Amino acid sequence: MFNYSALVQAVIEGNHIKSVELVNEALKDGASPQNIVGSGLQAGMRIVGDKFSAGDFFVPEMLLAARAVSRAMEVLQPHISAADMPTLGRVVIGTVFGDIHDTGKNIVTMFLRGAGFEVFDLGINIPTDSFVGAVKEYNPDILGMSALITTTMHTMSDVIKALEAAELRSKVKVIVGGAPVTQHFAAHIGADGYGADGGSAIKLCRNLVGK
Amino acid sequence: MAMTEKQRILAAARRQPVDKLPVGARIDVWYNYHAGHDTLPEKYKGWSIPDILRDQGAGIQLRHGTIWRTEYRDTEVAIHEDPPFTTTEYRTPKGTVRMKTMFTPQEGPWVPYEVELPFKSVDDYPAIEHLLENTVLVPYLDEYLRKVEMVGEDGLVLVTVSYSPMQEIMRTIMGYERFFFELNDHPSKVEHLYELMKEVVRQKLNILAESPVEIPEVCGNWSDDIHTPVFRKYFVPWFQEAVEFLHSKGKLAHAHIDGEMKRLIPMFLETEIDVAEAWSPAPMTSVTTAELRKAWGDKVTIWGGVPAMLFEPQYSDEEFDDYVKNLLREIAPGYNFILGMGDNLAFDGKIERVGRMAELADKYGRLPIKI
């Protein structure tokens, strides 16, 4: 049976060359892609996320770990159908209308993908209707919205109202983040959660999908 | 004779005695947004930022970008305008790199936002090295001097160096994600760029040293979860060099600390930077002003202290007043502090609260503060 500890370690160290090498080795050993993802990649990313939350890791370590997972997933993809790909849940994410900042959103997207979520990144400057359309199309567990400026953060409230009007609100959890956004603001607009950074976004999403 | 607001700000920055707490308020995000949408309050239509702040009774902090123009030797610069986008191609003998910015009046500060940065892959190192090696900065002070005249003795015009060398690479050449991958994968190439960028920033410091700018900004826009791992190695030594140079020319230095600072606070003391401007305490970040004062003592002058969100309608006037009064208690006796907002008045901020802040500083800010 393949020993996953080296793969877990490669993810923690953010070593994408090693993670790809070990995934190839695991496949050669007959390990199932599902086990490689669950016992190797996601297990490693969970430790990385915990270290970030504890303040021992910073954004660079998280980015490198997420890349190690992402490169390994590219190797696994031909060996597994989309339906069988182990995932913690499906997330649609985007920066709200009028706002073109994407650094925070991109970091959260990388972290979530690394942690094992399937993420549909809509990009920046996303109109309210497009968020609603993406929720209809992708049927996500979670909708994430980002805003960097106070001029645009209020648009998050419009999206939540539009989801209610489209009778989709009960089908998706809504999370918000970005520099001017606070827990207080998230509660005020009726979001289900707020993440101050990429690490807390992972925890929040895990909690929301019960994993 | 009472000190002017400019004298108070400069004295506080130099850690010298002042008669009352200086105020340096910044409202350009609010102003630019409303001027651009023709939604300034009726009374203020056609007014300038300094005049609005004077009307509110507040000291002025006016920002100015740079006091130089950038030219490139042995490089063709092609600019293509396709509003709201501007694409700039730098055609060098070592290759071509391209950057794209987007300019939208939705953005209060009206700063072009980089949607495409010049560094895309390892192949771009030679062209970017060429650009840095051939960057020539030419002093251009007209616009700055015009702003100085507008502000007069009622505040200060702050000028930026833009960023420290590694922050410049992180923010304007590569972007954070690509930067950290490159630093991991090709550290010697990144460090070579760092050395070249230092030379460019030294040119900026030389221009500043010969200018009337009193307290140049040497860097800013940090977040401790991103910057802590690289701050001691690439930021602290640079600041020590830059600040020593500026001090030798009779200048002070300030940094724009508008982000999460918790894990950077101890290292900041090693930088020798004189003024930490745009201080944005809890609830906007995780650190209170009392905690920052305890950590820094009288070694750094703090500018800011009232979070931007407190100016917004979701907070009542009473909550605003309570916050400012509590802040004054936290900073008592009040030396080495310049009251302002962290870091700007947002588009939906209440301009009247700038006046309230100034009133409270008048009422309780006689030094030493006893409240």
Q: The domain at A5-84 falls in which architecture?
A: Orthogonal Bundle (1.10)
Contact B180 A63 (CB under 8 A): yes
B209 touches chain A (CB under 8 A): no
A151: pLDDT strictly greater than 70: no
DSSP character at residue B3: P
From the list B108, B177, B228, the residue facing A149 with the nearest CB is B108
User: If you measure CA to CA, which chain B residue comes closest to A183?
Assistant: B283
Torsion A90-A182-B224-B122 (CA) sign = positive
Q: Which residue has the higher pLDDT, B160 or A162?
A: A162
Contact A182 B175 (CB under 8 A): no
Of B217, B242, B230, residue with least CA distance to B267: B230
The pLDDT tens digits of the residues spanning B275-304 come to 999 999 998 888 999 999 999 999 999 999
Task: Give A174 to chain B, closest Cα distance, Å.
Answer: 22
> What residues have CB less than 8 Å from B67, skipping those under 6 apart?
B139, B140, B141, B144, B159, B207, B208, B211, B213
Name which of A107-116, A156-165, B324-333 the model is least confident about. Answer: A107-116
Q: Which residue has the higher pLDDT, B158 or A107?
A: B158
State the average pLDDT over residues A44-49: 91
Q: What domains appear along chain B, each with residue ranges and CATH number?
A: 5-71+119-364 (3.20.20.210), 74-118 (no CATH)
Task: Count Cβ atoms below 10 Å from residue B34 Cβ, excluding itself.
Answer: 19
Four-CA torsion B237, B238, B241, B247, nearest 10 degrees: -120
Secondary structure class of A34 (helix, strand, coil): helix
| Residue listed under structure tokens 């460019």 | B200
Task: Give B317 to chain A, closest Cα distance, Å.
Answer: 18
Of A120, A139, A119, A122, residue with least CA distance to A130: A122
Task: Give A198 to chain B, closest Cα distance, Å.
Answer: 10
Of A103, A114, A109, residue with least CA distance to A49: A114
The enclosing H or E element of B97 equals strand B95-102
Under a CB-based contact definition with an 8 Å cutoff, are residues A10 and A19 in contact?
yes
Task: Count Cβ atoms below 10 Å from residue A133 Cβ, excluding itself.
Answer: 15
Under a CB-based contact definition with an 8 Å cutoff, are residues A107 and B177 in contact?
yes
Q: Which residue has the higher pLDDT, A180 or B361?
A: B361
CA A88 vs. chain centroid, Å, equals 9
Contacts of A58 in chain B (CB under 8 A): 224-226, 228-229
Say if residue B178 is exposed, middle or buried (CB neighbours under 10 Å; 0-12, 13-18, 19+): middle
Under a CB-based contact definition with an 8 Å cutoff, are residues B85 and B100 in contact?
yes
Under a CB-based contact definition with an 8 Å cutoff, are residues A175 and A189 in contact?
no
A110: pLDDT strictly greater than 90: no
The enclosing H or E element of A166 equals none
Give the whole-angstrom CA distance, residue B199 versus residue B245.
14
Name which of A76-80, A167-171, B24-28 the model is least confident about. Answer: A76-80
pLDDT for A192 equals: 96
For domain A89-209, the question of CATH label 3.30.1330.10 is answered with no
DSSP character at residue A41: I
CB pairs under 8 A between A and B: 74
Secondary structure class of A25 (helix, strand, coil): helix
How would you classify the pairing of strands B337-342 and B217-220? unpaired
Give the whole-angstrom CA distance, residue B204 versus residue B196.
13
Torsion B33-B38-B42-B46 (CA) sign = positive
Provide φ and ψ at B279, rounded to 5°: -60, 120
Give the whole-angstrom CA distance, residue B163 versus residue B179.
15
Contacts of A14 in chain B (CB under 8 A): 184
How would you classify the pairing of strands B135-139 and B68-72? antiparallel
**Which residues of A make CB contacts under 8 Å with B?**
14, 52, 55, 58-61, 63-64, 67, 98-101, 103, 106-107, 110, 149-152, 154, 179-180, 182, 184-185, 188, 197, 199
Domains of chain A by residue range: 5-84, 89-209
List the structure tokens of A181: 């956004």
CA B303 vs. chain centroid, Å, equals 11
B267 touches chain A (CB under 8 A): no
Secondary structure class of A53 (helix, strand, coil): helix
Residues of chain B with pLDDT under 70: 105-110
Torsion B136-B142-B146-B151 (CA) sign = positive
B308 touches chain A (CB under 8 A): yes
- pLDDT-derived band at A116 (thresholds 50, 70, 90) equals confident
Hey, of A59, A69, A105, which one would you mutate to test binding to chain B, going by the most B CBs within 10 A of its CB? Answer: A59
Say if residue B127 is exposed, middle or buried (CB neighbours under 10 Å; 0-12, 13-18, 19+): buried
- pLDDT-derived band at A83 (thresholds 50, 70, 90) equals low
From residue A19, give the alpha-carbon distance in Å to each of A25, A85, B355. Answer: 10, 18, 58
